[in-house]
Amino acid sequence: MSNRIQAGSRPHRTTASRRVSFLRWAEIDRVLLAAVLLLSMLGCLLVWSATLERNDLTGGDTRAFLLKQVVNVVIGLGLMALVVVTDHRWVRILAPIGYLIAIGGLLLVLVMGSTVNGSRSWLMLGGMSFQPSELAKLAVIVGMALVVAERSDRRWRDRVGTLDVVLMLLVAGVPAVLILAQPDLGTMLVLTATVFGVIAASGADRRWLGLLAVGGIGAAAFAVVSGMLKEYQVDRFLAFTNPALDPKGAGYNVEQARIAVGNGGLFGQGLFQGSQTQSGFVPEQHTDFVFTVAGEELGLAGAALIVLLLGVILWRALRIAARTDDVFGRIAAAGIACWFGFQAFQNIGMCLGIMPVTGVPLPFVSYGGSSMFAGMLAVGLLQNIHLRTLSAPASRLAPQQRVLVRS
């Protein structure tokens, strides 16, 4: 009898677990997921258009980069799903391992990395390239959030003190030094802005923010005066202030990007029809300057759609941060929003000539697996935090958070 009961109970447990799993997926933030999917699909089209006539890149296979980017998106979605279904406790347990992996990757880059566009940022593995600094951005955010969360669990007060800030800066400082040694100035700028945002979201004293701002300006001035920056990096900043100083060199990218965006008008010249894009005048157009493809071929309407979708992602990330009662989740979600927001601003800004050219990808749009994987992992973490907030007892939430959850 007992054997029959046990045997008969197995399908019940399996069905129950499947039901719980289904409900978990049914409660994910569908607005966030839709924005990411739409942005990724639009990015695939823009990458395809930017490489359609570039036989020097494709070797005659006009769909090569399109198929590669589709594979990147699919793998990224798989990584996102993996994080979504991972128990929140395991996310915190595995966070230090992810941080150490990122540090190990940055160290390997300095030892055996490949130099691309003047920066030794890439690892070549079996014919594939990977940029560890992309993973380092997420690792720093999660590491800093974990520092504050672990310390707040061990004391009676929630205020972030001096030791907390020092520990967060140490967590961010190790990869920052390794990234600066590459040197990867674009990633360093994004990381700096992200660290500033994480510390602000943690509730640290405002004096720390002032000290960090002054320290950042001082570090930038020292890098220029001491000769730490390479000549091409200094030229990029000079070209940002005045592209006419070197129109065939450092200012060429900025000038051609402006022309491409200006050609688009309101509704663009049509997908696969952009004169600048199909002629290959804009360098690195499928990666760093992919926004110019949208500006030229889809016009102001298409460019505004990209900005709108990015804005939706930032809105949902900040909403998730505001709703959760978990210190780790709040800081991690806010940090991801800072990362996506500043990197998007930097990328679009350099395409429009309002920011210096530093070589950072546009999240979910630019070609490349490293950026796509890191971004999808971050979205998976946002969804994980969102689901944990929904499953938290209402008694644990502050009154304003209960209203947000019900809404």
* pLDDT tens-place string over residues 39-76: 999 999 999 999 998 888 888 888 999 999 999 999 99
Q: Is the pLDDT of residue 13 over 60?
A: no
Residue 106: inside a domain: yes
**Of residues 201 and 376, which shows the higher confidence score?**
376
pLDDT mean over 304-327: 95
Q: What pLDDT is attached to residue 348?
A: 95
Domain ranges, residue 363: 30-254+274-289+315-406
Please state, rounded to an integer, the average pLDDT across all residues of the chain.
Answer: 82
pLDDT mean over 145-153: 81
Q: Is the pLDDT of residue 332 over 90?
A: yes
Residue 23: inside a domain: no
Q: Determine the Cα–Cα distance for residues 105 and 182; give it in Å rounded to an integer.
A: 12
Q: What pLDDT is attached to residue 230?
A: 66
- Condensed to tens digits (0 to 9), the pLDDT of residues 248-294 reads 666 778 888 889 998 989 999 999 999 998 888 888 899 999 999 99
pLDDT tier at 11 (50, 70, 90 boundaries)?
Answer: very low
- Condensed to tens digits (0 to 9), the pLDDT of residues 207-245 reads 888 888 887 777 766 766 666 666 666 666 666 666 666
Residue 11: inside a domain: no
Q: How far is CA 14 from the centre of its chain?
A: 37
Q: How far apart are the first and last CA of the chain?
A: 49
Work out the angle at residue 388's Cα, subtended by the Cα atoms of residues 198 and 393, and round it to the nearest 5 degrees: 115
Residue 12: inside a domain: no
Residue 280 CB neighbours (<10 A): 17
Q: What six digits make up the tokens of 397?
A: 């939430």
Residue 114 CB neighbours (<10 A): 12
Helix (H) or strand (E) holding 184: none
pTM: 0.86
pLDDT tier at 31 (50, 70, 90 boundaries)?
Answer: very high
**Of residues 280 and 297, which shows the higher confidence score?**
297
Q: Is the pLDDT of residue 349 over 50?
A: yes
Domain count, the chain: 1
Work out the angle at residue 173's Cα, subtended by the Cα atoms of residues 355 and 335, and round it to the nearest 5 degrees: 60
Residue 264: inside a domain: no
Q: What pLDDT is attached to residue 8?
A: 43
Q: Determine the Cα–Cα distance for residues 400 and 404; give it in Å rounded to an integer.
A: 6
Q: Determine the Cα–Cα distance for residues 274 and 280; give it in Å rounded to an integer.
A: 10
**Of residues 62 and 119, which shows the higher confidence score?**
62
Q: What pLDDT is attached to residue 323?
A: 92
Q: Is the pLDDT of residue 156 over 90?
A: no
Nearest to 223 by CA among 192, 255, 258: 192
Residue 373: inside a domain: yes
Residue 396: inside a domain: yes
pLDDT mean over 373-395: 85
284: left (phi over 0), alpha (psi -120 to 50) or beta: left
Residue 297: inside a domain: no
